[in-house]
Amino acid sequence: MLLFILRRLLWAVPVLWAVATLTFVMMHLVPGGPFDREKKLPPEIKANIEAKYHLDKPFAVQYGLYLKGLLKGDLGPSYKYLGRTVNDVIADTLPVSIQLGALALFIALVLGLLAGMASGAFAQTAWDKTSMFFATAGISIPNFVLGAFLILVFSHQFKLFPPALWEDARSVVLPAFALGLAPAAYIARLTRSSILEEKHRDYVRTARAKGLPETTILFRHVLKNAITPVITVLGPLAATLVTGSFVIEFIFSVPGMGKFFITAVTNRDYPLIMGVTLVYALLVVLANLLVDLFYTVIDPRIQLE
């Protein structure tokens, strides 16, 4: 087990290196640089700035310098937020995103599993149709529409929660639901179809022939097997949720990390683009590792080699 984890972590190194290299090359290929402005900088001043950030050096040298810093855990200075390093920016914003993302994940799992299990168990009933209606709606409605809707109803109309900002526990509720409902719908549909598939397997027929009650069949046997696909998607989903969402952070003014996936690129803030991409890649690797470990817990047939 320990050996397995260690080997997987070692594998993460070339993965992250590949991500870093690809991102580095691609972002430099995009036209436009970090210091292009509506009010164009005099060439001498631009030269001063580019010298400060080594942007005047050949591409290979810049790449070498970046990797050298990366080995020391130094993600470099932000070009946009002067005087702050990318490490600072991530340290300020990632905890917020993790917190919001974890709550959204919790909502997604609880709602998604409950609705999916109910639908799968009572397929083709009114209950199934209602919950699948909401699941389809949840997937189809973009989160900015959902966010606006939640603000309108729960903030404007009923004044239960603040419309935005990050002041206290009440601030977290609306963005967490806006972020978590779409994955909840996804999990619900996945759980339902997985249960339906399992229900027609031989072992279920055997269980029925033995006279086991339907609830026991469902909870003791079917669910255990049906849950595997949900666990599989959980890894990347968790990584996505905890690194934040541009849209949700904008609508609700949440000081999270998600916005940088967009704004760092529009600002051509190269070190910040690299920083958030690498954090995301690292989290995906870790989440997938956790998922693999989890498989062995729920399914003894799966062995770690």
Range in contact with another protein (rule: CB under 8 A) among 88-96, 114-122, 185-193, 202-210: 88-96
Shortest Å, Cβ 280 to another protein: 18
When asked if residue 191 is in the footprint of another protein (CB under 8 A), the reply is no
Q: Which of 2, 10, 37, 202 binds another protein (CB under 8 A)?
A: 37
When asked if residue 177 is in the footprint of another protein (CB under 8 A), the reply is no
Coil, helix or strand for 42? coil
CA distance 28 to 53: 14
When asked if residue 73 is in the footprint of another protein (CB under 8 A), the reply is no
Q: 69: exposed, middle or buried (C-beta count within 10 Å: 0-12, 13-18, 19+)?
A: middle
Q: Which of 4, 127, 166, 261 binds another protein (CB under 8 A)?
A: 166
When asked if residue 51 is in the footprint of another protein (CB under 8 A), the reply is yes
CA distance 154 to 187: 25
Shortest Å, Cβ 106 to another protein: 5
Shortest Å, Cβ 297 to another protein: 5
191: its two tokens: 């759980």
When asked if residue 155 is in the footprint of another protein (CB under 8 A), the reply is yes
Coil, helix or strand for 77? strand
Nearer to another protein, 14 or 42 (CB): 42
- Residue 99's alpha-carbon distances to 26, 94, 102, 165, 189, in angstroms, are 31, 9, 5, 15, 26
CA distance 193 to 123: 10
Q: Which of 14, 31, 58, 211 binds another protein (CB under 8 A)?
A: 31
Q: Which of 112, 116, 138, 163 binds another protein (CB under 8 A)?
A: 163
When asked if residue 216 is in the footprint of another protein (CB under 8 A), the reply is no
185: its two tokens: 């719908």
CA distance 178 to 164: 12
Tokens 């950030």 correspond to 53
Beta bridge partners of 92: none
When asked if residue 92 is in the footprint of another protein (CB under 8 A), the reply is yes
When asked if residue 164 is in the footprint of another protein (CB under 8 A), the reply is yes
In the region spanning residues 252 to 291, those forming contacts with another protein, defined by CB under 8 A, are 252-253, 255-256, 259, 266-268
When asked if residue 224 is in the footprint of another protein (CB under 8 A), the reply is yes
CB 172 within 8 A of CB 99: yes
214: its two tokens: 């339907």
When asked if residue 251 is in the footprint of another protein (CB under 8 A), the reply is yes
When asked if residue 118 is in the footprint of another protein (CB under 8 A), the reply is no
Beta bridge partners of 77: 85
When asked if residue 232 is in the footprint of another protein (CB under 8 A), the reply is no
Nearer to another protein, 15 or 165 (CB): 165
Q: Which of 69, 95, 229, 236 binds another protein (CB under 8 A)?
A: 95
CA distance 198 to 221: 9
CA distance 188 to 132: 8
When asked if residue 245 is in the footprint of another protein (CB under 8 A), the reply is no
How many chain residues are in contact with another protein, going by CB under 8 A? 72
